[in-house]
Amino acid sequence: MERLVAEIRIEGLTRYFGGVRAVDDVSLDIADGDFLVLLGPSGCGKTTLLRMIAGLLEPSGGRIMLGDRDITHLPARQRDLAMVFQSYALYPHLTVERNIGFPLRAARRPRAEIARQVRDVADQLELGELLGRRPRELSGGQRQRVALGRALVRDPAAFLMDEPLSNLDAKLRTATRTELTALHRTLRRTFVYVTHDQVEAMSMATRVVLLNGGRVEQAGTPTEVYDSPASVFVAGFLGAPPMNLLPARIENHGGTLTAVAEGLRIPLWPGASEPRDVIVGLRPENAFQLTAAGAGAPVGTASPAGAGARTSAAGPAPGIHGVVTTVENLGSEEVAWCDVGGQAVALRGPRPLGLTVGEHAHLTVNVSRVHLFDRASGRRLE
Ligand code: ATP
């Protein structure tokens, strides 16, 4: 079958609701075959953006191109894009078979072709046993798959999905996630997928677009947005627990640029930044050396006289000094929380971390894993 070009180009797309700028001058290139995830907190404009792409909402400004066609004002049904709704929108009185085949019957395709395609789609989505049932006789997850099947059978240029997994229980959500990733790989179609769930985004996306207040905060591969967050917003949105974000000041200590705050002293790489107010970003799982520290002392062991015991002429020993307040057992891993100058700092690693509630901990920081953000703008420095 002839494949339509499914590159979607969004240019300066904007949508107001009264005084609210739900989507604010968004430009994006969605490549053919991308699994693009629109990610962000509630109210950041994900659904509004998706609905404009789908043709369900008129933009206040900007343009949407599908290949070289301007589809900005085209009715939804002429866009060759299939929207899969969270609320499923299945016909309650029709069987699974007829729900899936509905778009083909509407397009008056031959009966044998409809039967074959419905069977194909039902096989792919493991719905073969359920073809005779009606939506009320299905679980949430099964209804979800029927909704997907109904989109799939139309063979659209791209699938648009708005939180399609949010009504599923945790186990089924994980399974359906894997299924969707596999489906994307098999179909090689463009998926545009809305979620506020970072795990869904990180595990399925080829590209993630982080939205904040209707604007694109960062677009990149899951690895890029996780490893090089463009802003404090992105850094604090991703990760479990998210990146520790600690206000500090960069000072020049005898030629060494050093990030300094109460309980924190991290010598930085040459040229890291001029002296200024920053936010230091430390991922709980990789910013701390959890094995032996430089001198061979186990990191995280109690320092009998507290942080002061390690103080040298230049100030406290490099790293972070705090008091362990909580240790959470996650099964294979642990998360420990330390109070560092009144701020909660999380670290995460294989269990046991060797930290005990109430002890003074000196944490050695892996300087290659330090992220710096300008405190005023929140943007990444580098
Ligand atoms: P959620 O994850 O909660 O669905 P979202 O990121 O999808 O959020 P949108 O639903 O796109 O966000 O909403 C973006 C902003 O636009 C919000 O401030 C919302 O209140 C507002 N908004 C959305 N739809 C309307 C509407 N029909 N009328 C007025 N304001 C709206």
| Residue range(s) of every CATH 2.40.50.140 domain in the chain | 244-293+312-374
Tens-place pLDDT, residues 11-46: 999 999 999 999 999 999 999 999 999 999 999 999
Query: For atom 2 of ligand 1, which residue has the closest CA?
Result: 42
* Ligand 1 pocket test, candidate residues 13, 14, 16, 20, most atoms within 8 A of CB: 20
How far is ligand 1, taken at its centre, from the CA of residue 22, in Å?
6
How far is ligand 1, taken at its centre, from the CA of residue 49, in Å?
10
* Ligand 1 environment, Cβ below 6 A: 17, 20, 22, 40, 42-48, 196
* Ligand 1 pocket test, candidate residues 15, 48, 53, most atoms within 8 A of CB: 48
Query: According to the 3-state scheme, what is the secondary structure of the chain?
Result: CCCCCCCEEEEEEEEEECCEEEEEEEEEEECCCCEEEEECCCCCCHHHHHHHHHCCCCCCEEEEEECCEECCCCCHHHCCEEEECCCCCCCCCCCHHHHHHHHHHHCCCCHHHHHHHHHHHHHHCCCHHHCCCCHHHCCHHHHHHHHHHHHHCCCCCEEEEECCCCCCCHHHHHHHHHHHHHHHHHHCCEEEEEECCHHHHHHHCCEEEEEECCEEEEEECHHHHHHCCCEHHHHHHCECCECEEEEEEEEEECCEEEEEECCEEEECCCCCCCCCEEEEEECCCCCEECCECCCCCECCCCCCCCHHHHCECCECCCEEEEEEEEEEECCCEEEEEEEECCEEEEEEEECCCCCCCCCEEEEEECHHHEEEEECCCCEECC
Q: What ipTM describes this predicted complex?
A: 0.97
pTM: 0.86
How far is ligand 1, taken at its centre, from the CA of residue 42, in Å?
8
| Residue range(s) of every CATH 3.40.50.300 domain in the chain | 8-237
244-293+312-374 is a CATH 2.40.50.140 domain: yes
Tens-place pLDDT, residues 146-187: 888 898 888 888 999 998 888 777 887 888 888 889 888 877
**Topology of 8-237 in CATH?**
Rossmann fold (3.40.50)
